[in-house]
Amino acid sequence: MAKILVVDDASLIRIVAQRALEEAGHVPILASNGEEGLLMLEKYQVDLILSDVCMPVMNGLEMVKNIKQHPQHRFIPIVMLTTESAPSLRKQGKELGVKAWLLKPFNKERYLFAIAKLLA
């Protein structure tokens, strides 16, 4: 059972992700933007982070940049779940340390497979 931080400004995505994670035996921790995601990392020790790119307050790539600068959190695997498919954004994510880039719409099987692979 892994603790997984889900960061997305779309409440529907958070709910769908939460249900899929719970069905797979994981513990989801939810945040609605990057800043809130960073706050959750201070409260909880997580095994993986799933994040959108485009969010208000702090976007996903800015959050990743902050996480990777923090010694305690920099090795947590991060998966982007987003509608953004631009090669430049994917390249930026990879350079920041993003381990996987999944495109919305949400695909439960693909999502859980990527998570299982990164947690193995």
Name the fold adopted by 3-111: Rossmann fold (3.40.50)
Query: What number of other Cβ atoms are within 10 A of residue 83's Cβ?
Result: 11
* Identity of the amino acid at 96: L
Domain residue spans in the chain? 3-111
**pTM, to two decimals:** 0.93
Per-residue pLDDT 10s for the chain (120 aa) are 899 999 999 999 999 999 999 999 999 999 999 999 999 999 999 999 999 999 999 999 999 999 999 999 989 999 998 888 888 999 999 999 999 998 888 788 888 888 999 998
pLDDT in tens, 100-114: 998 888 788 888 888
Peptide bond into 105 cis (omega under 30): yes
- DSSP structure string for 35-82: HHHHHHHHH---SEEEE-SS-SSS-HHHHHHHHHTSTTTTTS-EEEEE
Phi and psi, residue 25, nearest 5°: 90, 15
